[in-house]
Structure 1
Amino acid sequence: MAQRGQGIVIRDAHFPGRAPVDAYGNGGFRFAKMSHRGSILSVPSGIYGWLPATVEELTIEAFERVFEEAGEIEVLLIGTGPDIRRVPPALREEFRARGIRADSMATGAAVRTYNVLLSEDRAVAAALLAVD
């Protein structure tokens, strides 16, 4: 809530929990009876709005929250948009060094796989680029 004189305060989008992704497309995602426009990052601490919109924007810095929670993540699914794209080699090496198995796939496949692994109570995280 904004205090008098500050105007509107925008906070980072964050859902504090794990939830399956109910739908994707039209530039966003639906989960936990909410919708989010843009990419999302789902880690053990919750689901966050995520800035990258293209594979080219997938940098080590973009995955900082994943690395902070690496001890609780076995598998990271990376949804690379409408098509399967490889993540940069330096990023793959960083995941490996932190003990995270990272798999890149089209966003639709990543959503489906994430939901299955989540239902099995696996230590899964997902970095999902929005698709139209």
Structure 2
Amino acid sequence: MAKGIEMREAHFPGRAPIDAYGNGGFRFADMSHRGSVLMLPSGIYGWDVAEGDPLTIEKFRRVLDEAQAIEVLLVGTGREIRPLPADLKATLRAANISSDPMNTGAAVRTYNVMLAESRAVAAALIAV
């Protein structure tokens, strides 16, 4: 019996700088991904968040699962800077994660610098 195409969750098992962003996605590690991404110590994951979506604690569950390896979380909120909801900020703080919202372009640039410095950084980047 023939099997159809198997769709798996987007995941790159490693850390990589972002080479480019825009047109609704990101380029890294000689690959491209359409949509938003989570850049975590365990790898790079597709993230089901679009510009303007509510930033709920549940959307950051994977980040919280890796809290022991993250000191700073950069949140690229799209074209415009959006503050993080108080409950999300408090939950991240309780997990010893410093969160910093900024527009996605600034978050990409900051992430690349911090990654090059081998800092314990993660990023939640909304595609623009």
TM-score normalised to the size of structure 2?
0.97
- Any idea what the Cα deviations from partners look like across 1:19-78, whole Å, max 9, x if unmatched? 000000000000000000000000000000000113433211111111110000000000
Report the counterpart of residue 23 of structure 1 in structure 2. Answer: 20
Report the counterpart of residue 61 of structure 1 in structure 2. Answer: 58
Overall identity of the aligned pairs, in %: 66
Report the counterpart of residue 39 of structure 2 in structure 1. Answer: 42
**Structure 1: which 5+ residue stretches go unaligned?**
none
Report the counterpart of residue 101 of structure 1 in structure 2. Answer: 98
Q: What is the Cα deviation at residue 6 of structure 1? A: 3.2
Partners of 1:56 and 1:92 lie apart in 2 by 16
The letter for the 2-side match of 1:80 is: T
**Structure 2: which 5+ residue stretches go unaligned?**
none
SS of the residue corresponding to residue 53 of structure 2 reads helix
Partners of 2:93 and 2:19 lie apart in 1 by 30
The letter for the 2-side match of 1:56 is: D
Match of 1:9 among 6, 18, 21: 6
Paired residue total: 128
Provide the aligned C-alpha RMSD in A: 0.9
Contact 1:79/1:108 (8 A) holds in 2: yes
